[in-house]
């Protein structure tokens, strides 16, 4: 069983998803960050409303926790439409998808999360639904088999994926709008935390919000999760008020440092530096040394460390860079001892 990490960008429980739903902005006007996407999407949706048309099929892609599901709900709200939510792994038989499609009304939104994990038969079944708003459904088998052409109401498919490169070209080409969500700057995360704190009626000052934002790894989902943990600490230890010092103490207790790294991140870096002399070292060797799954390191640890410039991927393996030595207060090989020690 993989460990649950406070700084994981993935959902860690159904309770967290229910909590996040109460914090989701209902409109693009209230959505913080991703300014270019908001502007382009606003124009596309307004144009569709003026023409009394359904919105174009939309693909949202980027790392987990950045707001793809939130944008799907905002699209539905903006178009005054119902949204039906499912995921790629949940659709196993064409009958499952058939039931969903035939119950969609004019202009409704079908949101498929993890769309890159759709089975091949489901994906092919979607093509005529997306292009011509009809599906061919086969009933009976063998010599008694016959195909029924079923018309559909004009709907909008919104797909979300963390791995756009895994989508097949035929499916990708059937989307009209493409939006790549990027990591959020600290200033935008601070605004998100202040907004969430206002909804939750949690007293937090600007410095406290900034301290949490600094550790949120560019991800709103992590920012809101850290806010919950700091809120608990503040209620017990600080009369409920979140200041910079309260946030620092709460997140120090949780093992999250000023760059948003947790124990696994720091172990990953220190293993490369101390055991493998800064690298290069293969990820399989790292996984064996840390007693972790390779996928955990590749998908959950490395992306953020690469973003910070703490590690590099080379043909020979992973290498630690100067910022990693500085963060851990260790000397780089060939430099005088104590160079980064405070």
Q: Calculate ∠ Cα 264-269-270, nearest 5°.
A: 95
Tokens linked to 124: 């092919």
CB hemisphere CA count around 328 (13 angstroms):
24
**Cβ-count burial of 142 within 10 angstroms (0-12 exposed, 13-18 middle, 19+ buried)?**
exposed
Which residues are part of the catalytic machinery? 68-69, 113, 162, 221
What DSSP string runs through 258-278?
A: TTS--HHHHHHHHIIIIISTT
- How far, rounded to the nearest angstrom, does the alpha carbon of residue 8 sit from its chain's CA centroid? 10
How many Å apart are CA 67 and CA 182, to the nearest integer?
10
How many Å apart are CA 31 and CA 78, to the nearest integer?
13
Closest CA to 127 of 118, 135, 139, 137: 135
How many Å apart are CA 84 and CA 81, to the nearest integer?
10
| 224: enclosing H helix or E strand | helix 220-237
Pairing of strands 317-320, 134-139: unpaired
């Amino acid at each position: 069983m993989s460990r649950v990490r406070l700084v994981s960008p993935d959902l860690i429980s159904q309770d967290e998803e229910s909590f996040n739903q109460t914090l989701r902005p209902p409109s693009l006007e209230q959505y913080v960050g991703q300014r270019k996407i908001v502007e382009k999407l606003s124009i596309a949706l307004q144009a569709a409303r003026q023409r009394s048309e359904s919105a174009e099929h939309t693909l949202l892609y980027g790392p987990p926790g950045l707001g793809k599901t939130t944008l799907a709900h905002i699209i539905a709200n903006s178009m005054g439409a119902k949204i039906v939510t499912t995921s790629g792994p949940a659709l196993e038989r064409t009958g499952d998808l058939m039931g969903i499609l035939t119950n969609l009304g004019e202009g409704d939104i079908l949101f498929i999360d993890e769309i890159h994990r759709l089975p091949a038969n489901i994906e092919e079944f979607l093509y005529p639904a997306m292009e011509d708003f009809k599906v061919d459904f086969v009933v009976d088998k063998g010599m008694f088999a016959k195909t029924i052409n079923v018309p559909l109401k004009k709907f909008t498919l919104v797909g979300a994926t963390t791995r756009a490169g895994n989508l097949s070209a035929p499916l990708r080409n059937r989307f009209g709008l493409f939006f790549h969500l990027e990591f959020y700057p600290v200033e935008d995360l601070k605004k998100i935390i202040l907004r969430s704190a206002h909804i939750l009626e949690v007293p937090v000052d600007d410095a406290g919000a900034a301290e949490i934002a600094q550790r949120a790894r560019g991800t709103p989902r992590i920012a809101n999760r850290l806010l919950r943990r700091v809120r608990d600490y503040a209620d017990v230890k600080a009369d409920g008020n979140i200041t910079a010092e309260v946030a620092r103490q709460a997140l120090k207790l949780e093992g999250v440092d000023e760059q948003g790294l947790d124990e696994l991140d720091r172990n990953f870096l220190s293993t490369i530096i101390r055991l493998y002399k800064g690298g290069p070292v293969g990820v399989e060797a790292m996984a064996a040394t840390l007693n972790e799954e390779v996928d955990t390191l590749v998908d959950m640890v490395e992306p953020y460390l690469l973003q910070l410039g703490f590690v590099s991927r080379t043909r020979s393996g992973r290498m630690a860079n100067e910022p990693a030595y500085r963060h851990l207060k260790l000397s780089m090989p060939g430099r005088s001892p104590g160079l980064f020690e405070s």
